[in-house]
Amino acid sequence: MWRGLHDPVKSIKEAAMQHPTDLRRVEVASRRAADRTPAGRAAALAGARPLRTDRTSLRLPARLPIDDWLRIGQNLTAAADSAAWWLGDWLVYGQDRFPERYRHAIDGTSLDYQTLRNYAWIARKFPSGRRRAGLSMQHHAEVAAMPPDLQDMWLDHAGKEGWSRNELRRRISTEAVSSPTDPASSQEAATSSQEATKGTAESAELRLPVSAERQRRWEAAARRADRDLPHWILDVLDTAAGHNSAPSHRH
């Protein structure tokens, strides 16, 4: 089969015998690189069971125990969440390092700028030292518009109580609609509201009469966008006005 050519397998073996140290370095580097991929990390957690991956699929071994299957899913979820933070930091770097060119460069790729922009906004709100490894980026997104002390308070609760992103959102919404009786709580609520609508010189309250049918249509649109109605209205108005300081979060 290899007439006229060197047998590649034999050549590799001969090279390995001549340079065993170099070969070991290559093997170690390859293993480390594989371990950094989602599939590699998942395989490590699953007891190094073989996982076959390509650009668009993950093929799991037959007869995989459910505990291993769960661990693989948890690790892939963690890897995906880490990638969101990494993309956010990557875009922040581009915004700071190449302010005149980064957007044009991104437009030439398949990356979704709106999604990256959301990631970058959250990444700026939470420097690496303030990010909670036990909580997802989506948890951080729920409190990103708040002042830092309130961010920490809610994230502390979420971490200690094991709240999901949806549970954290529900708790925040419940707190927002309740009438605070403590002056300090009133001030915190007002401060949070001002931060959520940042970019205005001072906060203001607008009241508009709308029909029940219009309200239902708005609520349906807000649900499709995975937003509560007040934040959805602010997103739509800010987009129409060309105001992009606090992008909406897509989940």
Domain positions in the chain are 86-115, 146-198+220-243
Taking residues 23-36, report their average pLDDT: 44
Give me the pLDDT at residue 159, please.
96
pLDDT exceeds 60 at position 174: yes
pLDDT exceeds 90 at position 26: no
Query: If pLDDT is split at 50, 70 and 90, which confidence band does 93 have?
Result: very high
- Regarding pTM above 0.85, the answer is no
Give me the pLDDT at residue 231, please.
79
Taking residues 214-242, report their average pLDDT: 80
Higher pLDDT, 134 or 10: 134
Give me the pLDDT at residue 178, please.
63
CA dihedral 2, 6, 8, 9 (to 10 degrees): 80
Q: Which of 44-48, 78-82, 95-99, 212-216 is predicted with the least confidence, judged by mean pLDDT?
A: 44-48
Higher pLDDT, 70 or 223: 70
Highest mean pLDDT among 8-12, 235-239, 245-249: 235-239
Taking residues 116-139, report their average pLDDT: 93
Mean pLDDT of the chain: 74
Query: If pLDDT is split at 50, 70 and 90, which confidence band does 205 have?
Result: low
Concatenated DSSP letters of 197-226: TTTSSS---------HHHHHHHHHHHHHTT
Give me the pLDDT at residue 196, please.
43
Contacts of 192 (CB under 8 A, 6+ apart): 145, 146, 147, 150
CB atoms within 10 A of CB 130: 12
Highest mean pLDDT among 43-57, 66-80, 174-188: 66-80
Give CA–CA dist 156/12, Å, rounded: 55
* First-to-final CA distance of the chain: 54
Give me the pLDDT at residue 197, please.
38
CA atoms lying within 13 Å on the CB side of residue 181: 0
77 to 33, 39, 136: CA distances (angstroms): 19, 11, 9
Q: Buried b vs exposed e over 56-78: b needs ≥16 C-beta within 10 Å?
A: eeeeeeeeeeeebeebbeebbeb
Burial class (CB in 10 A: 0-12, 13-18, 19+), 81: middle
Burial class (CB in 10 A: 0-12, 13-18, 19+), 179: exposed
Query: If pLDDT is split at 50, 70 and 90, which confidence band does 32 have?
Result: low
Give me the pLDDT at residue 137, please.
95
